[in-house]
Structure 1
């Protein structure tokens, strides 16, 4: 009797855990789909007008949104694979992880370029059109992607040379960046790269912010534009911090693995997924889509699928 009771109790506990995990998936999937839709509409908006395709800051914004949209979709895919405990070969896992590594590096460096563009616009307004051109913007975007590609390529070469396990071997655990790059040298390389990324990008954004603030105090500079640019660069700094903080997720989870029970570990993983991975990817569209007075009306019309909502007239009755 006691054995049957324990089996039923364990089965009941397992069902409750599965139900809670299913609720977590729903709570992550619905907001993710919502912001993916908004980001895709924003991307379409930035390609719908000539002014967006021929203005440097909109081209940089498009590149930032493209990277963050891909990150959000890939993060949701990885979360669903982890929830379903999908076991795959090392090669398939590597092909899934590579785009994640590639797009993660783009956002911080793209924010640095966007900060430099605002600095040139405020501090060198007469030379802005000759310095920040469409070809130079595409060149800066190419450099950002090249840095990201180099980071990913170095990891793949190190994995091929240092890890003797065959790529056709099935993994006994879920696919993740930490499970495919298990050797200590990979964590050391990532720590070094993240530190270099944080210092270089942070320094560029801080210097741009200081330069804009100094220019805002000058009598010859349009103070309204300078103040607006300083707020934009400050937002870039906050976004950079949130973007780089997402790289700490794997480190935190690795440190907690084996030290907490499975249920607590899943709750922590879900909270980190929402706060440090999904949330930072949703901010760019909201920040720039609602602050920019050129983008905002076009974006709102596209979000409504071109449907014009009727205006409600309020009549004041006299009593």
Structure 2
């Protein structure tokens, strides 16, 4: 202002000159917000593309495992179907939670609980399914003569029921604790994004989570390790088919890798909680996106790649269904393009 008066310029002219500068700052702020929204939209698109691809592969595998009577009447394939079903549901729920978080969709505590419940159930189901599958391979290699008596379709369904019962019990305990210990009404609107860590905020929930996760992975890890050792010992025995034993040992080893990836995916929320406030917002979003794709989405498709390509019975049928689906989609797209 003093500079304008020294130059003989009225103050009103200085004010008029200041207005475009303020408008420019607002425009720059809007542009920055728009760029952030565009980056968030790009992250959503790039997260949706691999999720859609892997979801399609999993659905083709699920259809393949129900397409032949041999798959519906064999314990090994029934256990694989159960694992794939749980991982496919996890993938769908994870993508839905990511979209809700990216869109900043807030909901009531009751709606958030209904969204989180299936996530908790399916997350617990996968490790125990891997343990049952490892035991099935152990019995097949170490007790081949008694395999048909021990591993039957009814016992397989019973093992699957036990796995899901453990998952439901874990969820039920959490819901009872939330109802009894958290005094906030379920109809209250949450001011933060819906997630397991934001819904179960009390310290006792984190302690229960840590204890359950440790017990879960120690028990499942011991089962897989003991199964692997038993299969390796049987592979060295002269009375055992070494080819099938070596193949079974590789399968159990892959179960251990899947368990490690499952443990890594369960630690994503813990990692993000530790990084929150220590890095800037943009870096935090990029880390959240990277962890989501690498540790949550990608491991959910490993079962299809492991069993769909290694199994000599599944592989040709799986590839045929996969190609048929792709060709049908291309044909539909071409037909719509021609009609337009």
Q: TM-score, normalised by structure 1?
A: 0.94
Which of 165, 171, 177 is the matching residue for 1:152?
Answer: 171
- For residues 38-49 of structure 1, what are the structure 2 equivalents within 5 Å? 38-49=57-68
- Residue aligning to 1:15: 34
SS at match of 1:238: helix
- For residues 1-319 of structure 1, what are the structure 2 equivalents within 5 Å? 1=18, 2-305=21-324
- Asked if 2 retains the 8 angstrom alpha-carbon contact of 1:243 and 1:280, the reply is yes
Structure of larger gyration radius: 2
CA shift digits 1:28-59 (9 cap, x unpaired): 10111111111111111101111001100100
- Residue aligning to 1:314: none
CA shift digits 1:126-155 (9 cap, x unpaired): 011100111110010001001100000000
- Residue aligning to 2:9: none
Structure 2 runs not aligned, ≥5 long: 1-17, 329-340
Structure 1 runs not aligned, ≥5 long: 310-319
Aligned partners of 2:29 and 2:282: how far apart in 1? 14
Aligned partners of 2:151 and 2:31: how far apart in 1? 63
- Asked if 2 retains the 8 angstrom alpha-carbon contact of 1:52 and 1:59, the reply is yes
Pick closer, same or farther for the CA change 1:306–1:72 going to 2, 3 Å: closer
Return the structure number with greater helix share: 2
Q: How many residues align?
A: 309
Aligned partners of 2:178 and 2:77: how far apart in 1? 37
Offset of 1:162 from its aligned partner? 0.5
